[in-house]
Amino acid sequence: MESPNPTKYSQALVGQLRTSQIYRDYEKAFRETTGLPISLRPIDAFDRPHHGDPKENPFCMLIAQTNQSCAACLQLQRKVEEEAKLEPMSLKCFAGLCDSAVPIRVGENLIAFLQTGQILLQKPSKAQFKRTTQQLIKWGTQVDLKKLEEAYFQTRVLTKQQYESIIRLLSIFAQHLSSLSNQLTVRDQTAESPTVSKARLYITEHQDEAISLNQVAQAVNMSAFYFCKTFKKSTGLTFTDYLARVRIEKVKNLLLNPHKRISEAAYEAGFQSLSQFNRVFRKIAGEAPTAYRDRIHSGSVR
């Protein structure tokens, strides 16, 4: 049997972990207790980890609004994850804020990261803020310096010991998620037939096309009638509902880009009409696409 692509495997597993009750409970408790953002990320992710988090640092939100400074944030995240493959790692950005990644491993395989941060380990200073603004000016960044200064001096400050304790909590939880990941992997391998696994992969690879139930059934060498029954029994969803959810998740990821138009995201994800997309998005996400985009880019909590 062909080995799964590590990145796709990680993305699929993270998707399952995020919907688990243990993760949702911990995520909620972590934010309420620490006041910090938390993110569960697959390997090789290229987006900002805390974008849209209700506890995202306002200073970081302002910094990330321009291309140069956003690129600097993404480079830091990449470096943190590269150095956190075996153990937790914390690094400081050009503005002096600390970000951390805790690896989640199953055996020898790295499958995901838990991340937090956007804090200072010492009181904000005028000198540090001046160095930060000088760098932004050098990059040609257009930002409201008054708002930026207010946000910077409101950044959460923790002692090194406090922050190390928070990272330790994440490390303990990473062990729980590692165990849960192993259970999910074993369950999937034993409970899901190779035919359904192949169908899922086919749907993921062709979700942006006008694929039909007959087309997928043919790809896995089954009759449409039997495939329909088998797929529903294994996934708990009809083919149509499953495909819609896959496409909506793609749209959500695309809309993390504040410059991406909703109509563009809808068509890129495979929807053939905007009226159908709006109806499906509201049904699955519980809100209109415009409300969703406004919420994640304003950092407000629904």
**Integer CA distances (angstroms), 51 to 123, 167, 185, 268, in order:** 24, 20, 28, 21
CATH architecture of 6-188: 2-Layer Sandwich (3.30)
Q: What is the pTM of this model?
A: 0.62
Q: Which of 40-49, 181-190, 217-226, 244-253 has the lowest mean pLDDT?
A: 181-190
Q: Do domains 6-188 and 193-297 have the same CATH topology?
A: no
Helix (H) / strand (E) element for 147: namely helix 145-152
* Alpha-carbon span 118 to 105, nearest angstrom: 24
The sheet with strand 109-119 has its strands ordered as 39-42, 109-119, 98-106, 89-92
Q: Domain ranges in the chain?
A: 6-188, 193-297
Helix (H) / strand (E) element for 115: namely strand 109-119
Q: Which of 120-129, 158-167, 205-214, 288-297 has the lowest mean pLDDT?
A: 288-297
Q: What phi and psi values does residue 49 have, to the nearest 5 degrees? A: -65, -30
> How does pLDDT run across 10-48, given as a tens digit for each residue?
888 888 888 888 888 999 999 999 999 999 999 988 788
**Integer CA distances (angstroms), 162 to 24, 26, 119, 154, 165, in order:** 23, 19, 11, 18, 5
**Could you write out the three-class secondary structure of 82-130?**
HHCCCCCEEEECCCCCEEEEEEEEECCEEEEEEEEEEEECCCCCHHHHH
% of the chain with per-residue pLDDT over 70: 93
Whats the size of the chain, residue-wise?
Answer: 302
Please compute the mean of the pLDDT values over residues 195-200 and round it to a whole number.
87
List of E strands, the chain: 39-42, 89-92, 98-106, 109-119
Identify the CA nearest to 60 among candidates 122, 127, 147: 147
**Averaged pLDDT of the chain:** 86
Provide the pLDDT for residue 81.
Answer: 87
Sign of CA dihedral 286, 47, 40, 267: positive
Please compute the mean of the pLDDT values over residues 223-238 and round it to a whole number.
86
Higher pLDDT, 4 or 99: 99
Where residue 195 falls among pLDDT bands split at 50, 70, 90? confident
Where residue 1 falls among pLDDT bands split at 50, 70, 90? very low
Structure tokens at 46: 């290229």
Sort strands 89-92 and 98-106 into parallel, antiparallel or unpaired: antiparallel
CATH number among 1.10.150.130, 3.40.630.10, 1.10.10.60, 3.30.230.10, domain 193-297: 1.10.10.60
